[in-house]
Amino acid sequence: MQGEATPILEAKAISLQFGGVRALSDVSFQVKPGELFSIIGPNGAGKTSMLNCISGRYTPTAGQILFEGRDITALTPNERARLGLGRTFQNLALFSHMTVLDNIMVGRHHLLKNNFLTGGLYWFGGAQREELEHRRHVEDIIDFLEISHIRKAVAGTLSYGLRKRVELARAVAVKPDLILLDEPMAGMNLEEKEDMARYIVDLNEEWGMTVIMIEHDMGVVMDISQRVIVLDFGRKIADGLPDEIMHNEHVKTAYLGVDDEAA
């Protein structure tokens, strides 16, 4: 049963400190394989710091990160990508001078098996076959995210909403088992948010990816998440099903700004 499976990700008593500032304090949680899991909380709650600890951008001051039962706390972001972790960023991290296709292909670089020697024998070795295989996978992603019409466009010339979609495509190109999404709908209009929510649900349900998402739009979070944790001032204050979170008094006070008397 899924509930009895080894968690795909486990955060064990994670603390993170920058000088005298404590960004995270003793945060623990588990994410099940195939789950669509959200981390919410007010600005400065430690959400992106938590994602950075999972992806390897930050090393926790204390605690452990386990991925499929393996301790990855000391691994680099590239090593984690090779194990099956992909992510998007709150602030776009595309190569603005490159085309959409080339940006997505960058996400495949860690999967390349040919080196500069075998690559030099492009037509006679396996490099040509390998490139074609990677391009087929990228074309599947482009079709899925409905960006065929901009595949040759320079990324820096695109609208904000399309650039967010391209960044998601590049994260998917990593071929992750677990994808980390840092505010994937920030700055989008209603139609763009609805499209992005649909893509995320399809990645989870049809592509079989486990998703950990940070998102400020509570309506979207509660509609598509299977489980939610809430951070406040670097501490976990709630963990449960969306409906449980919505009715949690600590969450109303800390995140939604509802005091006990108003509740």
pLDDT number for residue 253: 85
CA atoms within 13 A on the CB side of 134: 22
pLDDT number for residue 48: 94
pLDDT number for residue 252: 84
pLDDT number for residue 4: 63
Q: Check if the beta carbon of residue 238 is closer than 8 Å to that of residue 230.
A: yes
Sheet hosting strand 62-67, strand order edge to edge: 21-31, 9-18, 62-67, 70-71
pLDDT number for residue 129: 65
What pTM, to 2 d.p., does this model score?
0.86
**Percent of the chain whose predicted confidence (pLDDT) is above 70:** 84
Residues of the chain with pLDDT under 50: 1-3, 111, 114-125, 260-263
pLDDT number for residue 256: 57
Domains of the chain: 1-84+176-263 (3.40.50.300), 95-174 (no CATH)
pLDDT number for residue 96: 87
Q: pLDDT (tens digit, 9 = 90+) per residue, 32-52?
A: 999 999 999 998 899 999 999
CA angle 203-245-47, nearest 5°?
60
Strand 227-232 relative to strand 9-18: parallel, antiparallel, unpaired? unpaired
pLDDT number for residue 136: 85
